[in-house]
Amino acid sequence: MTKAALHTVSDEDRRQQVRERYGGIASSGSCCAPEGGSSGCCDGTAGTGSCGTSSIIATQLGYTPEELSGLPEGANLGLGCGNPTAILSLRPRQVVLDLGSGAGIDCFLSSKKVGPKGHVIGVDMTPEMISRARENARKGNYSNVEFRLGEIEHLPVADRSVDVVLSNCVINLAPDKGPVYREAFRVLRPGGHLAVSDVVATRPISEEDRADPSLWSSCSSGALEVREVKRLLQSAGFRDIEVDLKHSETPPDNLHGQATVGVLPADIRATRPVGRRR
């Protein structure tokens, strides 16, 4: 790829590539592409890894068999890089927001923890995913869960209306992570928490790899190094920031491709301070 070509990928190009990739996954109901290649976070580079089954991948990422057994069929597409609902203890009556909610797995798990007097909102920019998640909610009779179409850089959620913001292997896909963290800060109530499972880079990623649409949309070349993640969170206003690498020795089956380019899963925690206005 030439230097000139490196500068032709716009933010909207990236969003459209991600929409198309995950729209196809939502339509096929699998993290494996219909033609047998890999797609989504099933593998970091097309054709280099094993898709496996969604249930096996999910248990490797930290979901329990009990959690998985209670989900509507089709809610688990094997796309994550962790279990954000296990990063902190959700409580009854809380309002939870999931950034890039996909088919709804983390929303449905959160629904049980916050109870009937709590509320869960899933936001996703892919219409096919929203349709699939809404159908899953209907099948599972989740009355305290709703799904909204929107971009995580421009959340369709009111200021200071959420207790916990979750996300699972989605923020790395955003062309610019700064607005995502600022929006998460905006919608959180003072004292609210961010709990994110995402991938981080353990070494610099080349501009050529960042310009590769397949690498970017498969949760690889959009990852940031830990120090940059912490800087953006702090700049957004967050405090008590922690970024903990996971599976550094043997990554889950769906993340072997990412590991070859120095990208590994991590748990990210942060808090909106009480009294800080923005």
pLDDT over threshold 50, residue 254? yes
Given a cut of 60, whether residue 5 has pLDDT beyond it is: no
Per-residue confidence band for 274, with pLDDT thresholds at 50, 70 and 90: very high
pLDDT at 32 over 60: no
What pLDDT is attached to residue 183? 98
pLDDT for residue 276: 54
The answer to whether 172 touches 243, Cβ cutoff 8 Å, is no
- Residue 55: pLDDT band with limits 50, 70, 90: confident
pTM of the predicted protein model: 0.89
pLDDT at 177: 98
Q: Which two structure tokens, joined as six digits, stand for 264?
A: 């590994």
Q: What is the per-residue pLDDT for 268? A: 98
Full set of structural domains in the chain with CATH: 3-271 (3.40.50.150)
**Of 44-58, 77-91, 203-217, the least confident:** 44-58
- Integer Cα distance of 267 and 243 in angstroms: 6
Tens digit of each residue's pLDDT (9 = 90 or more) over 110-142: 999 999 999 999 999 999 999 999 999 999 999
Query: What average pLDDT is seen over the chain?
Result: 88
- The whole-number pLDDT of residue 277 equals 56
How many whole angstroms separate alpha carbon 128 and alpha carbon 119? 23
Determine the pLDDT at residue 38: 40
Q: How confident is the model at residue 31 (pLDDT cuts 50, 70, 90)?
A: low
* Nearest partner of 84 among 70, 68, 104, 98, judged by Cα: 98
Q: What is the mean pLDDT of residues 66-77?
A: 92
According to the model, what pLDDT value does residue 97 have? 99
Lowest mean pLDDT among 4-13, 19-28, 39-48, 254-263: 39-48
What pLDDT shows up at residue 34? 39
Residue-wise pLDDT tens digits, 161-173: 999 999 999 999 9
Given this model, what pLDDT does residue 247 score?
74
Report the pLDDT averaged over residues 39-66: 65
Token couple for 87: 């990063």
What band does 237 get if pLDDT is binned at 50, 70 and 90? Answer: very high
| pLDDT recorded at residue 278 | 54
pLDDT band at 256 (very low <50, low <70, confident <90, very high): confident
- Sign of the torsion formed by the C-alpha atoms of 40, 41, 45 and 46: negative
Give 3's contacts (C-beta < 8 A, 6+ positions apart). none
Phi and psi angles of residue 4, each rounded to the nearest 5 degrees, phi first: -60, -40
- In percent, how much of the chain has pLDDT > 70? 87
pLDDT of residue 13: 87
